[in-house]
Structure 1
Amino acid sequence: MNFHCPSHLLRTVCGVFWLLLLTPMLSFAQSPLHSALDDYLRTQTQGLPGTVTYSIGQLNARAQLSECSAFEPFLPAGGRLWGKSTVGVRCLGPSNWTIYVPVSVNVTGNYLITARALPTGYLLTASDIIVRSGDLSSLPASIVTDQSQAIGKTVKNRLPAGQPLRSDQLLAPWAVQQGQSVKTVSKGPGFSVSSEGIALTNAVAGQIVQVRTASGQLINGIARPGGVVEVSH
Protein backbone atom coordinates (compact mmCIF):
# COMPACT_ATOMS: atom_id res chain seq x y z
CA MET A 1 0.00 0.00 0.00
CA ASN A 2 1.32 3.46 -0.96
CA PHE A 3 0.28 6.57 0.96
CA HIS A 4 1.74 10.07 0.67
CA CYS A 5 1.26 12.97 3.13
CA PRO A 6 0.54 16.07 1.01
CA SER A 7 2.03 18.63 3.41
CA HIS A 8 4.11 19.16 6.52
CA LEU A 9 0.99 20.10 8.49
CA LEU A 10 -0.54 16.69 7.86
CA ARG A 11 2.42 14.61 9.04
CA THR A 12 0.99 14.10 12.50
CA VAL A 13 -2.33 12.99 11.00
CA CYS A 14 -0.45 10.64 8.66
CA GLY A 15 1.46 9.17 11.57
CA VAL A 16 -1.79 8.36 13.33
CA PHE A 17 -3.19 6.92 10.10
CA TRP A 18 -0.23 4.54 9.68
CA LEU A 19 -0.44 3.51 13.33
CA LEU A 20 -4.06 2.55 12.82
CA LEU A 21 -3.10 0.50 9.77
CA LEU A 22 -0.27 -1.32 11.55
CA THR A 23 -2.05 -1.99 14.85
CA PRO A 24 -3.98 -5.08 13.63
CA MET A 25 -0.74 -6.57 12.22
CA LEU A 26 1.19 -5.86 15.41
CA SER A 27 -1.59 -7.21 17.63
CA PHE A 28 -1.77 -10.49 15.69
CA ALA A 29 2.03 -10.93 15.75
CA GLN A 30 1.98 -10.48 19.53
CA SER A 31 -1.15 -12.53 20.19
CA PRO A 32 -1.49 -15.97 21.88
CA LEU A 33 -2.86 -17.25 18.57
CA HIS A 34 0.34 -16.26 16.76
CA SER A 35 2.41 -17.85 19.55
CA ALA A 36 0.44 -21.10 19.24
CA LEU A 37 1.08 -21.16 15.48
CA ASP A 38 4.77 -20.40 15.98
CA ASP A 39 5.14 -23.25 18.51
CA TYR A 40 3.29 -25.64 16.19
CA LEU A 41 5.45 -24.80 13.16
CA ARG A 42 8.68 -25.01 15.15
CA THR A 43 7.76 -28.46 16.48
CA GLN A 44 6.39 -29.88 13.23
CA THR A 45 9.37 -28.78 11.08
CA GLN A 46 12.10 -30.09 13.38
CA GLY A 47 12.49 -33.33 11.43
CA LEU A 48 12.82 -31.72 8.00
CA PRO A 49 16.21 -32.05 6.26
CA GLY A 50 18.43 -28.96 6.06
CA THR A 51 17.91 -25.51 7.53
CA VAL A 52 14.27 -24.54 8.06
CA THR A 53 12.82 -21.03 8.10
CA TYR A 54 9.13 -20.25 8.24
CA SER A 55 6.79 -17.29 8.32
CA ILE A 56 3.18 -16.83 9.36
CA GLY A 57 0.87 -14.79 7.15
CA GLN A 58 -1.81 -12.35 8.25
CA LEU A 59 -5.35 -13.17 9.27
CA ASN A 60 -8.16 -12.35 6.92
CA ALA A 61 -9.03 -8.72 7.64
CA ARG A 62 -12.72 -9.67 7.77
CA ALA A 63 -12.19 -12.38 10.40
CA GLN A 64 -14.15 -11.56 13.56
CA LEU A 65 -12.85 -13.94 16.23
CA SER A 66 -14.55 -14.24 19.59
CA GLU A 67 -12.60 -14.81 22.79
CA CYS A 68 -10.48 -17.95 22.97
CA SER A 69 -8.28 -19.28 25.76
CA ALA A 70 -6.91 -22.45 24.11
CA PHE A 71 -5.85 -23.09 20.50
CA GLU A 72 -5.29 -26.32 18.58
CA PRO A 73 -3.29 -25.83 15.33
CA PHE A 74 -3.60 -28.64 12.78
CA LEU A 75 -2.62 -29.44 9.22
CA PRO A 76 -5.63 -29.73 6.88
CA ALA A 77 -6.16 -33.06 5.11
CA GLY A 78 -3.70 -33.40 2.25
CA GLY A 79 -1.65 -30.44 3.49
CA ARG A 80 2.11 -30.41 3.93
CA LEU A 81 4.44 -28.02 5.72
CA TRP A 82 6.55 -27.45 2.65
CA GLY A 83 6.66 -24.19 0.68
CA LYS A 84 3.43 -22.18 0.71
CA SER A 85 0.86 -23.93 2.85
CA THR A 86 -2.02 -23.41 5.25
CA VAL A 87 -2.42 -24.28 8.91
CA GLY A 88 -5.83 -24.58 10.56
CA VAL A 89 -6.48 -23.45 14.13
CA ARG A 90 -9.39 -24.61 16.28
CA CYS A 91 -10.54 -22.66 19.30
CA LEU A 92 -11.05 -25.12 22.17
CA GLY A 93 -12.98 -22.72 24.39
CA PRO A 94 -14.83 -20.83 25.53
CA SER A 95 -15.75 -20.04 21.91
CA ASN A 96 -15.99 -22.58 19.10
CA TRP A 97 -14.44 -21.54 15.77
CA THR A 98 -11.88 -22.65 13.18
CA ILE A 99 -9.70 -20.47 10.96
CA TYR A 100 -7.02 -21.11 8.36
CA VAL A 101 -3.80 -19.10 8.32
CA PRO A 102 -1.34 -18.97 5.37
CA VAL A 103 2.23 -20.01 6.21
CA SER A 104 5.44 -20.40 4.26
CA VAL A 105 8.04 -23.05 5.09
CA ASN A 106 11.39 -22.87 3.32
CA VAL A 107 14.00 -25.62 3.65
CA THR A 108 17.59 -25.07 2.52
CA GLY A 109 19.72 -28.18 2.19
CA ASN A 110 21.60 -30.56 -0.07
CA TYR A 111 20.09 -32.46 -2.98
CA LEU A 112 21.49 -34.58 -5.80
CA ILE A 113 21.69 -33.94 -9.54
CA THR A 114 23.02 -36.14 -12.33
CA ALA A 115 26.65 -35.51 -13.31
CA ARG A 116 26.02 -36.72 -16.86
CA ALA A 117 23.22 -38.11 -19.01
CA LEU A 118 22.21 -41.53 -17.68
CA PRO A 119 20.58 -44.24 -19.81
CA THR A 120 17.64 -46.40 -18.77
CA GLY A 121 18.71 -49.23 -16.47
CA TYR A 122 21.98 -47.55 -15.50
CA LEU A 123 23.38 -48.52 -12.08
CA LEU A 124 24.24 -45.37 -10.14
CA THR A 125 27.66 -44.88 -8.57
CA ALA A 126 29.09 -41.97 -6.56
CA SER A 127 30.72 -40.50 -9.70
CA ASP A 128 27.33 -40.19 -11.44
CA ILE A 129 25.87 -37.67 -8.99
CA ILE A 130 26.71 -34.17 -7.80
CA VAL A 131 25.64 -32.60 -4.52
CA ARG A 132 23.97 -29.21 -4.77
CA SER A 133 22.54 -26.91 -2.12
CA GLY A 134 19.37 -24.87 -2.48
CA ASP A 135 15.75 -24.34 -1.49
CA LEU A 136 14.35 -27.87 -1.23
CA SER A 137 10.81 -26.56 -0.83
CA SER A 138 10.91 -25.32 -4.44
CA LEU A 139 11.77 -28.83 -5.68
CA PRO A 140 9.55 -31.94 -5.95
CA ALA A 141 8.69 -33.64 -2.67
CA SER A 142 10.47 -36.84 -3.79
CA ILE A 143 13.83 -35.09 -4.30
CA VAL A 144 16.80 -37.22 -3.20
CA THR A 145 18.82 -35.51 -0.47
CA ASP A 146 21.35 -38.19 0.49
CA GLN A 147 23.76 -40.24 -1.62
CA SER A 148 22.82 -43.43 0.23
CA GLN A 149 19.32 -43.05 -1.26
CA ALA A 150 20.72 -43.22 -4.81
CA ILE A 151 23.99 -45.18 -5.02
CA GLY A 152 23.39 -48.79 -6.04
CA LYS A 153 19.98 -48.11 -7.56
CA THR A 154 19.10 -48.20 -11.24
CA VAL A 155 17.58 -45.48 -13.41
CA LYS A 156 13.99 -46.16 -14.55
CA ASN A 157 14.14 -43.91 -17.61
CA ARG A 158 16.87 -41.90 -19.30
CA LEU A 159 17.90 -38.78 -17.35
CA PRO A 160 19.68 -35.73 -18.82
CA ALA A 161 22.77 -34.19 -17.24
CA GLY A 162 22.04 -31.75 -14.41
CA GLN A 163 18.66 -33.35 -13.63
CA PRO A 164 17.65 -33.24 -9.93
CA LEU A 165 17.22 -36.84 -8.81
CA ARG A 166 13.85 -37.99 -7.50
CA SER A 167 13.25 -41.21 -5.62
CA ASP A 168 10.47 -42.17 -8.05
CA GLN A 169 13.02 -42.14 -10.90
CA LEU A 170 15.11 -44.87 -9.28
CA LEU A 171 14.71 -48.58 -8.71
CA ALA A 172 16.22 -50.43 -5.78
CA PRO A 173 18.27 -53.53 -6.71
CA TRP A 174 16.61 -56.94 -6.41
CA ALA A 175 17.23 -58.50 -3.02
CA VAL A 176 15.81 -61.74 -4.40
CA GLN A 177 15.46 -62.75 -8.06
CA GLN A 178 13.16 -65.30 -9.68
CA GLY A 179 14.77 -68.73 -9.79
CA GLN A 180 17.36 -67.85 -7.14
CA SER A 181 18.15 -70.22 -4.30
CA VAL A 182 17.18 -68.47 -1.09
CA LYS A 183 17.42 -69.09 2.63
CA THR A 184 14.07 -68.96 4.37
CA VAL A 185 14.07 -68.00 8.03
CA SER A 186 10.91 -68.75 9.99
CA LYS A 187 10.52 -66.87 13.25
CA GLY A 188 7.95 -67.09 15.97
CA PRO A 189 7.61 -66.83 19.76
CA GLY A 190 10.63 -68.64 21.14
CA PHE A 191 11.86 -70.31 17.93
CA SER A 192 13.74 -69.67 14.67
CA VAL A 193 14.03 -72.22 11.83
CA SER A 194 15.91 -71.86 8.54
CA SER A 195 15.67 -73.89 5.34
CA GLU A 196 16.31 -73.60 1.61
CA GLY A 197 13.96 -72.76 -1.23
CA ILE A 198 13.61 -71.27 -4.72
CA ALA A 199 12.27 -67.77 -5.27
CA LEU A 200 9.35 -67.68 -7.71
CA THR A 201 9.25 -63.86 -8.06
CA ASN A 202 11.56 -60.87 -7.98
CA ALA A 203 11.51 -58.56 -4.97
CA VAL A 204 13.45 -55.64 -3.54
CA ALA A 205 14.27 -55.56 0.15
CA GLY A 206 11.08 -55.32 2.19
CA GLN A 207 8.75 -56.64 -0.52
CA ILE A 208 6.75 -59.87 -0.36
CA VAL A 209 8.25 -62.76 -2.34
CA GLN A 210 6.86 -66.23 -3.03
CA VAL A 211 9.15 -69.22 -2.38
CA ARG A 212 8.86 -72.93 -3.19
CA THR A 213 10.41 -74.98 -0.40
CA ALA A 214 12.35 -78.25 -0.86
CA SER A 215 9.16 -80.14 0.03
CA GLY A 216 7.20 -78.33 -2.71
CA GLN A 217 5.25 -76.08 -0.36
CA LEU A 218 4.55 -72.50 -1.50
CA ILE A 219 5.16 -69.86 1.16
CA ASN A 220 5.30 -66.06 1.21
CA GLY A 221 7.92 -64.04 3.05
CA ILE A 222 9.67 -60.71 3.16
CA ALA A 223 12.76 -60.35 0.98
CA ARG A 224 15.93 -59.31 2.80
CA PRO A 225 19.38 -58.48 1.39
CA GLY A 226 21.65 -61.45 0.70
CA GLY A 227 18.98 -63.81 -0.63
CA VAL A 228 17.19 -64.19 2.70
CA VAL A 229 13.41 -64.51 2.96
CA GLU A 230 11.88 -63.87 6.36
CA VAL A 231 8.73 -65.81 7.17
CA SER A 232 6.80 -64.84 10.29
CA HIS A 233 4.31 -66.96 12.24
Structure 2
Amino acid sequence: MIRRALPCGIALATLCGWPLAAAAAQPIDAVSQAAVTWLQTHRALPGTRMVLEAAPLDSRLRLADCPSPLDASLPGNRPLNARVSVTVRCPVPGGWTVRVPVMVKLFAPVLVSSHPLARGDGLGATDVHTEERDVATLAYGYIADLEQAGGRALARPVNAGTVLTPGMLAGRQAVRIGDAVSMEASVEGVVIRAEGVAMGAGDTGSRLKVRNASSGKVLDAVVRGPGLVAVLP
Protein backbone atom coordinates (compact mmCIF):
# COMPACT_ATOMS: atom_id res chain seq x y z
CA MET A 1 0.00 0.00 0.00
CA ILE A 2 1.43 3.33 -1.12
CA ARG A 3 0.92 6.32 1.18
CA ARG A 4 1.16 9.75 -0.36
CA ALA A 5 2.82 12.53 1.62
CA LEU A 6 0.37 15.24 2.60
CA PRO A 7 1.35 18.85 1.91
CA CYS A 8 2.27 20.79 5.01
CA GLY A 9 -0.45 23.29 5.88
CA ILE A 10 -0.75 25.70 8.78
CA ALA A 11 -1.91 22.99 11.14
CA LEU A 12 1.12 20.87 10.27
CA ALA A 13 3.66 23.65 10.07
CA THR A 14 5.17 22.81 13.40
CA LEU A 15 5.52 19.16 12.52
CA CYS A 16 7.12 20.02 9.21
CA GLY A 17 9.58 22.35 10.81
CA TRP A 18 8.35 25.46 9.02
CA PRO A 19 8.33 28.73 11.05
CA LEU A 20 4.97 30.41 11.57
CA ALA A 21 4.68 34.08 10.61
CA ALA A 22 3.63 35.77 13.88
CA ALA A 23 1.25 38.72 13.72
CA ALA A 24 3.09 42.03 14.18
CA ALA A 25 2.82 43.29 17.76
CA GLN A 26 2.86 46.84 19.10
CA PRO A 27 5.91 47.36 21.37
CA ILE A 28 4.67 47.98 24.91
CA ASP A 29 7.43 50.55 25.51
CA ALA A 30 6.06 52.60 22.60
CA VAL A 31 2.65 52.75 24.28
CA SER A 32 4.16 54.02 27.54
CA GLN A 33 6.31 56.53 25.68
CA ALA A 34 3.26 57.88 23.84
CA ALA A 35 1.64 58.68 27.19
CA VAL A 36 4.75 60.42 28.52
CA THR A 37 5.32 62.39 25.30
CA TRP A 38 1.72 63.61 25.27
CA LEU A 39 1.98 64.91 28.83
CA GLN A 40 5.27 66.65 28.08
CA THR A 41 3.79 68.29 24.98
CA HIS A 42 0.32 69.23 26.21
CA ARG A 43 0.61 69.67 29.97
CA ALA A 44 4.00 71.30 30.55
CA LEU A 45 3.66 74.78 32.05
CA PRO A 46 5.98 77.75 31.46
CA GLY A 47 8.53 78.10 34.23
CA THR A 48 8.08 74.53 35.47
CA ARG A 49 10.20 71.39 35.30
CA MET A 50 8.33 68.16 34.64
CA VAL A 51 9.58 64.69 35.58
CA LEU A 52 7.45 61.77 34.34
CA GLU A 53 7.67 58.03 34.87
CA ALA A 54 5.22 55.59 33.31
CA ALA A 55 4.34 52.62 35.50
CA PRO A 56 5.24 49.24 33.92
CA LEU A 57 2.40 47.72 31.93
CA ASP A 58 1.47 44.06 32.28
CA SER A 59 4.15 42.04 30.49
CA ARG A 60 1.46 39.62 29.26
CA LEU A 61 -0.26 42.40 27.34
CA ARG A 62 -0.34 41.70 23.59
CA LEU A 63 -1.43 44.47 21.23
CA ALA A 64 -1.67 44.39 17.46
CA ASP A 65 0.76 46.71 15.70
CA CYS A 66 -1.04 49.98 15.03
CA PRO A 67 -0.82 51.22 11.41
CA SER A 68 -1.48 54.82 12.50
CA PRO A 69 0.29 57.11 15.00
CA LEU A 70 -0.90 56.43 18.53
CA ASP A 71 -3.38 58.88 20.06
CA ALA A 72 -3.17 59.90 23.73
CA SER A 73 -5.36 62.00 26.01
CA LEU A 74 -6.14 62.70 29.64
CA PRO A 75 -9.84 61.92 30.18
CA GLY A 76 -11.98 64.80 31.36
CA ASN A 77 -9.16 67.32 30.93
CA ARG A 78 -8.22 66.58 34.53
CA PRO A 79 -5.57 68.66 36.30
CA LEU A 80 -2.20 67.11 36.90
CA ASN A 81 -1.57 65.45 40.22
CA ALA A 82 1.04 63.03 41.48
CA ARG A 83 -0.49 60.12 39.53
CA VAL A 84 -2.56 60.30 36.36
CA SER A 85 -3.94 57.73 33.95
CA VAL A 86 -3.34 58.59 30.29
CA THR A 87 -5.51 56.92 27.67
CA VAL A 88 -3.51 55.65 24.67
CA ARG A 89 -5.36 54.18 21.71
CA CYS A 90 -4.82 52.95 18.21
CA PRO A 91 -7.09 55.29 16.19
CA VAL A 92 -8.27 52.80 13.55
CA PRO A 93 -11.51 50.80 13.28
CA GLY A 94 -11.31 47.97 15.79
CA GLY A 95 -8.20 49.51 17.37
CA TRP A 96 -7.22 48.89 20.96
CA THR A 97 -7.22 51.24 23.98
CA VAL A 98 -4.87 51.11 26.97
CA ARG A 99 -4.69 53.24 30.12
CA VAL A 100 -1.14 54.06 31.14
CA PRO A 101 -0.51 55.11 34.79
CA VAL A 102 2.09 57.88 34.94
CA MET A 103 3.79 59.28 38.04
CA VAL A 104 4.11 63.04 37.76
CA LYS A 105 6.50 65.45 39.41
CA LEU A 106 6.00 69.07 38.43
CA PHE A 107 8.58 71.39 39.95
CA ALA A 108 7.85 75.11 40.10
CA PRO A 109 8.95 78.11 42.22
CA VAL A 110 6.58 78.74 45.12
CA LEU A 111 6.47 81.19 48.02
CA VAL A 112 7.58 79.81 51.39
CA SER A 113 7.38 81.65 54.71
CA SER A 114 10.81 82.80 55.89
CA HIS A 115 9.77 83.05 59.56
CA PRO A 116 6.64 82.45 61.65
CA LEU A 117 3.75 84.69 60.62
CA ALA A 118 0.68 85.62 62.64
CA ARG A 119 -2.95 85.80 61.62
CA GLY A 120 -3.62 89.19 60.06
CA ASP A 121 -0.03 89.71 58.94
CA GLY A 122 0.55 91.03 55.45
CA LEU A 123 3.17 89.49 53.19
CA GLY A 124 6.27 91.49 52.39
CA ALA A 125 9.53 90.73 50.64
CA THR A 126 11.23 89.92 53.96
CA ASP A 127 8.47 87.52 55.01
CA VAL A 128 8.79 85.04 52.17
CA HIS A 129 11.30 83.49 49.81
CA THR A 130 11.10 81.27 46.73
CA GLU A 131 11.78 77.54 46.68
CA GLU A 132 11.31 74.93 43.98
CA ARG A 133 8.71 72.37 45.08
CA ASP A 134 6.77 69.53 43.48
CA VAL A 135 3.45 71.33 42.96
CA ALA A 136 1.76 68.14 41.72
CA THR A 137 1.61 67.09 45.39
CA LEU A 138 0.20 70.43 46.60
CA ALA A 139 -3.50 69.60 46.67
CA TYR A 140 -4.45 73.03 48.02
CA GLY A 141 -2.53 75.00 45.39
CA TYR A 142 0.32 77.45 45.91
CA ILE A 143 1.26 81.10 45.60
CA ALA A 144 3.94 81.81 43.02
CA ASP A 145 4.68 85.49 43.79
CA LEU A 146 3.65 88.39 45.99
CA GLU A 147 1.48 89.89 43.26
CA GLN A 148 -0.73 86.82 43.51
CA ALA A 149 -1.30 87.64 47.21
CA GLY A 150 -2.65 91.01 46.09
CA GLY A 151 -2.22 92.84 49.38
CA ARG A 152 -4.26 90.30 51.37
CA ALA A 153 -3.57 89.33 54.97
CA LEU A 154 -3.10 85.86 56.41
CA ALA A 155 -6.25 84.17 57.65
CA ARG A 156 -4.29 82.03 60.13
CA PRO A 157 -0.78 81.77 61.57
CA VAL A 158 1.85 79.79 59.65
CA ASN A 159 5.18 78.34 60.67
CA ALA A 160 8.51 79.09 59.04
CA GLY A 161 9.14 77.00 55.93
CA THR A 162 5.44 76.65 55.06
CA VAL A 163 4.37 76.68 51.41
CA LEU A 164 1.81 79.46 51.15
CA THR A 165 -1.53 78.56 49.58
CA PRO A 166 -4.47 80.73 48.43
CA GLY A 167 -6.60 79.29 51.23
CA MET A 168 -4.29 80.84 53.82
CA LEU A 169 -5.20 84.34 52.69
CA ALA A 170 -8.01 86.43 54.12
CA GLY A 171 -9.50 89.59 52.63
CA ARG A 172 -7.46 92.30 51.03
CA GLN A 173 -5.70 94.75 53.31
CA ALA A 174 -6.89 98.33 53.36
CA VAL A 175 -4.27 98.98 56.05
CA ARG A 176 -0.94 97.22 56.51
CA ILE A 177 1.42 97.03 59.46
CA GLY A 178 3.52 100.18 59.63
CA ASP A 179 1.23 102.22 57.39
CA ALA A 180 0.71 105.86 58.23
CA VAL A 181 -2.99 106.25 58.94
CA SER A 182 -5.40 109.04 59.60
CA MET A 183 -7.15 108.48 62.93
CA GLU A 184 -10.63 109.83 63.56
CA ALA A 185 -12.42 109.98 66.89
CA SER A 186 -15.83 111.42 67.63
CA VAL A 187 -16.12 113.26 70.95
CA GLU A 188 -19.59 114.63 71.70
CA GLY A 189 -20.32 115.00 68.01
CA VAL A 190 -17.00 116.66 67.24
CA VAL A 191 -14.64 114.74 64.92
CA ILE A 192 -11.02 114.86 66.01
CA ARG A 193 -8.32 113.82 63.60
CA ALA A 194 -4.73 112.83 64.26
CA GLU A 195 -1.92 110.99 62.50
CA GLY A 196 -0.96 107.51 63.60
CA VAL A 197 0.87 104.33 62.66
CA ALA A 198 -0.90 101.00 62.16
CA MET A 199 0.31 98.19 64.42
CA GLY A 200 -1.85 95.62 62.69
CA ALA A 201 -3.29 94.92 59.26
CA GLY A 202 -6.75 94.30 57.88
CA ASP A 203 -9.49 95.10 55.44
CA THR A 204 -12.38 97.49 56.02
CA GLY A 205 -14.16 96.57 59.25
CA SER A 206 -11.13 94.88 60.84
CA ARG A 207 -10.09 95.83 64.34
CA LEU A 208 -6.45 96.66 64.99
CA LYS A 209 -4.23 98.75 67.19
CA VAL A 210 -2.74 102.08 66.14
CA ARG A 211 -0.11 104.25 67.75
CA ASN A 212 -0.69 107.99 67.96
CA ALA A 213 2.23 109.56 66.12
CA SER A 214 2.37 112.52 68.53
CA SER A 215 1.75 110.99 71.95
CA GLY A 216 2.89 107.44 71.29
CA LYS A 217 -0.29 106.15 72.92
CA VAL A 218 -1.61 102.84 71.56
CA LEU A 219 -5.34 102.82 70.76
CA ASP A 220 -7.90 100.34 69.48
CA ALA A 221 -9.40 101.22 66.12
CA VAL A 222 -11.51 99.95 63.25
CA VAL A 223 -10.41 100.19 59.64
CA ARG A 224 -12.74 102.47 57.66
CA GLY A 225 -10.87 102.39 54.38
CA PRO A 226 -7.38 102.64 52.88
CA GLY A 227 -5.24 104.65 55.32
CA LEU A 228 -8.22 105.57 57.51
CA VAL A 229 -9.19 104.21 60.93
CA ALA A 230 -11.81 105.14 63.50
CA VAL A 231 -10.58 105.14 67.10
CA LEU A 232 -12.81 103.16 69.44
CA PRO A 233 -14.01 104.76 72.68
TM-score range, shorter chain: 0.5 to 0.7
Whether 1:106 aligns to 2:105 is: yes
What amino acid does structure 2 have at the position aligned with 1:57?
A
Structure 1 residue 163, shift from structure 2 partner: 1.4
Structure showing greater radius of gyration is 2
Partner of 2:123: 124
C-alpha contact (below 8 Å) 1:83/1:137 kept by paired residues = yes
In structure 2, list runs of 5 or more residues that go unmatched.
Answer: 1-24, 175-203, 205-225, 227-233
SS at structure 1 position matched to 2:142: coil
1:124·1:151 contact (CA, 8 Å) conserved in 2?
no
Which residue is 2:18 aligned to?
Answer: none
Partner of 2:153: 154
Instruction: Report what 2:28 is aligned to.
Output: 28
Residue 63 of structure 1 aligns with which residue?
Answer: 61
Shift of 1:137: 2.8
Contact 2:122/2:173 (<8 A) preserved: no
**Equivalent position SS for 1:92:** coil
Displacement of 1:43: 1.2
- C-alpha distance in 2, partners of 1:42/1:89? 14
Q: CA deviation at 1:133?
A: 2.3
- Aligned-residue offset at 1:74: 1.4
Is the alpha carbon distance of 1:80 and 1:109 closer, same or farther for their aligned partners in structure 2, counting shifts above 3 Å?
Answer: same
Amino acid at match of 2:70: F
Deviations 1:150-189 (A, max 9, x none): 35221122222221101121135279xxxxxxxxxxxxxx
Which amino acid in 1 is paired with 2:161?
G
Compute the RMSD of aligned alpha carbons.
3.1
| Counterpart in the other structure of 2:44 | 46
Aligned sequence identity (%):
26
Report deviation, 1:126: 1.6
Whole-angstrom CA distance in 2 between matches of 1:165 and 1:70: 43
- Aligned partners of 2:126 and 2:156: how far apart in 1? 19
Q: Is the 8 A contact 1:143 1:167 kept in 2?
A: yes
Equivalent position SS for 1:108: strand
- For residues 176-229 of structure 1, give each alpha carbon's deviation from its aligned partner in whole angstroms, at most 9, with x where no partner exists: xxxxxxxxxxxxxxxxxxxxxxxxxx9xxxxxxxxxxxxxxxxxxxxxxx9xxx
The corresponding residue for 2:168 is 169
CA distance in 2, matches of 1:91, 1:171: 49
**One-letter amino acid of the counterpart of residue 65, structure 1:** L
Provide the C-alpha distance between the structure 2 equivalents of 1:36 and 1:111, rounded to a whole number of angstroms. 30
More strand per residue: 1 or 2? 1
Q: Is the 8 A contact 1:115 1:127 kept in 2?
A: yes
TM-score w.r.t. length of structure 1: 0.54
C-alpha separation between the residues in 1 aligned to 2:145 and 2:138? Answer: 15
Between structures 1 and 2, the one with greater helix share: 1
Look up the SS of the partner of 1:126 in the other structure.
Answer: coil
C-alpha separation between the residues in 1 aligned to 2:125 and 2:154? Answer: 14
Structure 1: gaps (5+ residues): 1-23, 176-201, 203-225, 227-233
Q: What's the CA shift for 1:49?
A: 3.8
TM-score between the two structures when normalised by the length of structure 2: 0.54
Say if 2:114 and 2:126, in contact at 8 Å, map to a contact too. Answer: yes
State the alpha-carbon separation in 2 of the partners of residues 40 and 141 from structure 1. Answer: 25
**Contact 1:67 1:95 survives alignment (8 Å):** no
Report the 3-state secondary structure (helix = DSSP H, G, I; strand = E; otherwise coil) of the residue aligned with 2:85.
Answer: strand
